[in-house]
Chain A
Amino acid sequence: MPFVTAGSQRNAYDVIVVGSGAAGGQSAYALSMEGAKVLMLEAGRRYIPATETPMFQTPDLAPLRGVSTPHKPFGFYDATVDGGWEVPGEPYVRASEERSSRFEWWRARMLGGRTNHWGRISLRNGPYDFKPRSRDGQGFDWPIGYEDVAPYYDKVELLIGVYGTNEGRENTPDSPPECLLPPPAPLVSDLLLAQRAKRLGITAIPGHKAVLTRPLDYERTPARLHPHNVTAQRILAEDMRARAPCLWATPCGRGCSIRANYQSTTVHLPPALASGNLDITTDAMVYEVTLGPRGRASGVSFIDRTTGRHHHASARAVVLAASACESVRILLNSRSAQFPDGLANSSGRVGRYLMDTVGSSASGQIPLLESLPPLNEDAADGDQTYVPWWLYREQRAGKLTFARGYHIEFGGGRRMPGYGTGAGMEWLTGGSYGVKFKQDVRRYYGSFVGFDGRGEMIPNERSYCEIDPTVKDKWGIPVLRFHWGWSEHELQQAAHMQRTFAEIVDAMGGRMHRGPEQDPAKAIAPGGSIIHEVGGAMMGSDPKTSVTNQWCQTWDVPNLFITDGAVFVSNADKNPTLTILALAWRAADHILERMRRSEL
């Protein structure tokens, strides 16, 4: 009886996990596979990738050729259910609408959360990334180092399946043998990028993405991930066998019905459910962690979204994994005489130091890529190639105007035509129409390349969220109000990205429609819009200045844990999901150990 309603839950669980995305899925997996009785509460609806994923649907089968609309901001076939920049009936407040100080919040209301649609880019933080303050005096150091997290990066890569290569680049860790799957073959545009960027001293290497480029090693990996646990090994082996490798078609953002990429719903939840130790209640909107005797969490209160009724569930420990901002919201809404400013907030740091990724994008047109013969370049849906940060030495020497690095995600190829194909080409065609226009579209199709810079934001005092004093959602739950501000480090970094893109396009023999954007305020994407929001309940070594310890355990409430991005102390240029997964697994092992010692 793995999917249960509010009325059919057990009387008590070992652990309640709030949320079912990367953090919730990983927490529930690690706990339940090792024997803990887990109740997962997900605010959105049940979602079944095997039957709901539009795998080969073409744009002409969708409304409006599948373009972005307010209801489906990443396009009709994006996997997101009941979400996007707005969730119906669940507003949030922006303290400012100015582009440079606005924050945008992408949410999903579905089992698996945002892992169903995410970009699958899976990069390890490097040693520098855990000790940024020690290196340049900005921001904060983590209470842990790369060596503490590395074993969990290994385990996560083995479990979910990540392709990539070991290149020995600075602060870009190699994985131990057998952790990574082979990368897809590069496209023509990838090879041209690598060749030409090299002339600028910029090294492009294969990306790291959670896509199976071959079947997982179901014979050996289960024993590495679950030593001494034969049951878990058997369950995982069976489940790994059931995951098919990539069939080299269809966009990953739609989700994957054959389970070739990582989403919580296809990788974490099936074996966790098969263990018999996981119950899941969907449409369960958690709004409060309740306190019991001795200052311990007794469970959570939630609203059944299908009935509007309020319920309570109890457990020995509570894990918040609702996404950084939603977990912060739950804490701030859990007020009591003991915690008048919100639960686990004696430091006053809950909601503080929100971070996103610095984002800036550009595209170029490359004559060398024009009029290529028909090639199938669907591959693994992009991100074959990326450029890790390459100017560490210059930064150390004080030659740059910003303190932290960025990487470049690169895309090109003869992707599936859709709305947008042939659009905005006057600068190339002189405004052709008729037969000449058709010739022009053929000529230029596949000759465009795109660059997405993804850089580190240093946490600051002006970027935070709090409970809005008046606005409530349709369930009557007070909502978040966001404040946002960049420092010169982020702004200068975004402008630098633009100059780099222009240099690379030039080196590729290409051209840009408009020159690089050199107004930093216009070059930088709005806060939150990269959907890498982390922080708000940072971990640390001092209860006065942090919300959790290095095990994601709140200082104030010993049986309350936060395993999502809220605990991040810095937000390296590396996309956060792999680190969220590694920290969640690490926290789960700690919870299990303390439960075995009867400390929880």
Chain B
Amino acid sequence: MIDRRTTVKWMLAASAAWPLLRRRAARAEASAVSVQGYGTDPNLLTVYHPGDLWPLTLTPDQRRLAAILADLIIPADESSPSASAAGVVEFIDEWVSAPYPRHQRDRGIVLDGFKWLETEAIRRSGTAFAELGATDQHAICDEICDVSRAADAKRDAARFFALYRDVTAGGFYSTPVGRKDLGYIGNVPQARFDGPPPELLRKLNLP
């Protein structure tokens, strides 16, 4: 039995030390995921939506933060919509709610990262990350967007950001708008395949 004083001490320790926080979070959140996955012989022709195979587990607050951060990474521009408009928040919720070891590990990193963002926002401005203006949000992200340049104390936060950027990009570029953004024009049946056009090869000095 853990008394309240111990719990408070843990929380204080957690706010200062990322690894402790992560271990605790991973244990606490593991119980949230209990479904067995899709098995070794799933129907490959069904269209699956997030939530079809295992319950989504992010809270409304977490999903709000998930959307803000995903859109900081992939905002709308002249070529394509933002990550959240492409359904990436649902995908991230599916990802961190999945029962597989990789996803459960990522769940711990993402939820710890969310907590770190909130803590950092409060430390800087006394408000939740979502309530910060774009400049302040960028100021936090700028310090954690590259693991190799992040301060030692922010290395774990930077690793979280790197993972979150990967998941956001993976969720976005695998959708129709993401494929279009990159100029992917395949996955259509063709009668013949002729290779690259001669004018492109000339430009690249290729035979």
Interface size of A in residues (CB-CB distance below 8 Å): 75
B153 cross-chain contacts in A, Cβ below 8 A: none
Chain A at the B interface: mostly helix, strand, loop or mixed? Answer: loop
- Identify which of A294-302, A322-330, A432-440, A527-535 touches chain B: A432-440
Mark each residue of chain B from 56 to 98: 1 if its CB lies under 8 Å from any CB of chain A, else 0.
0000000000000000111101011000000100010011001
Comparing B14-22, B113-121, B122-130, B199-207, the segment that makes contact with chain A is B199-207
Contact of B53 among A63, A185, A191 (CB under 8 A): A63
A contact residues around B145 at 8 Å (CB): 431-433
* Contact A417 to B179, CB < 8 A, known contacts A70-B101, A380-B193: yes
C-beta contact mask, B141-175 vs A, less than 8 Å → 1, else 0? 10001111100000000000110011001111111
- Docked Cα-Cα span, A445 to B174, in Å, equals 13
Given A419-B170, A421-B182, residue A438 in contact with residue B196 (CB < 8 A)? no
Q: Which chain A residue lies CB-closest to B50?
A: A63
Question: Do the beta carbons of B193 and A248 come within 8 Å of each other?
Answer: yes
Q: Is B133 an interface residue (CB 8 A)?
A: no
Interface residues of chain B: helix, strand, loop or mixed (majority): loop
Question: If the complex has contacts A59-B174, A374-B183, A421-B169, are A247 and B190 also in contact, measured as CB distance less than 8 A?
Answer: yes
Knowing A64-B103, A191-B201, A249-B189, the reply to whether A82 touches B41 (Cβ < 8 A) is yes
Interface residues on B, range: 35 or more
User: How many interface contacts (CB-CB < 8 Å) are there between A and B?
Assistant: 210
CA distance A70 to B100 in the complex (A): 7
A61-B193 contact, Cβ under 8 Å, with A70-B101, A441-B182: no
- Taking CB atoms, residues of chain A closer than 8 Å to B75 are 434-435, 438
B2 within 8 A of A: no
Distance (Å) between the CB of B37 and the closest chain A CB? 5
Q: Are A57 and B44 in contact (CB under 8 A)?
A: yes
Bound state CA distance, A56 and B187, in angstroms? 6
- A453 at interface by CB-CB < 8 Å: no
- Chain B positions within 8 Å of A66 at CB level: 174
Complex Cα–Cα for A103 and B102 (A): 22
A254 / chain B contacts, CB cutoff of 8 Å? 44
The reply to whether B173 and A376 contact each other, CB–CB distance below 8 Å, is no
| Docked CA distance A248–B195 (Å) | 11
In contact, B174 and A442 (Cβ under 8 angstroms): no
Q: How far is the CB of B170 from chain A (nearest CB, A)?
A: 4
A431-B149, A435-B77, A437-B74 known; A377-B170 Cβ under 8 A: no
Contacts of A437 in B (CB 8 A): 73-74, 165, 169
Most B-side CB within 10 Å, residue of A67, A418, A438: A438
Provide the A43-86 mask, 1 if CB < 8 A to any CB of B, else 0: 00100000011101111111111110111100011000111100
| Closest Cβ neighbor of B47 among chain A residues | A61
Query: For residue A418, which residues in chain B have a CB less than 8 angstroms away from its CB?
Result: 170, 173-174
Given A63-B53, A83-B40, A184-B193 in contact, is the A421-B187 Cβ separation under 8 Å?
no
Query: Please, how many angstroms separate the alpha-carbon atoms of A86 and B192 in the complex?
Result: 39
- B201 contacts A414, CB within 8 Å? no
CB-nearest residue of chain B relative to A446? B182
Bound Cα distance from A571 to B96, whole angstroms: 42
The answer to whether A63 touches B38, judged by C-beta atoms less than 8 angstroms apart, is yes
- Which of A58, A191, A195 touches B187 (beta carbons < 8 Å)? A58
**A373 and B183 form a contact (CB under 8 A):** yes
Cβ-defined contact, B45 with A57, below 8 A: yes
Q: List residues 416-459 of chain A with CB under 8 A from any CB of chain B.
A: 416-424, 426, 430-435, 437-438, 441-442, 445
Interface check B194, CB cutoff 8 A: yes
When the two chains form their complex, are residues B44 and A54 in contact, meaning their CB atoms are under 8 A apart?
A: yes
Q: Which 5 A-B pairs have the closest CB atoms?
A: A431-B146, A185-B195, A422-B169, A419-B170, A374-B183
* Chain A residues packing against B (C-beta within 8 Å): 45, 52-54, 56-67, 69-72, 76-77, 81-84, 87-88, 184-188, 191-192, 195, 246-250, 254, 368, 372-380, 414-424, 426, 430-435, 437-438, 441-442, 445
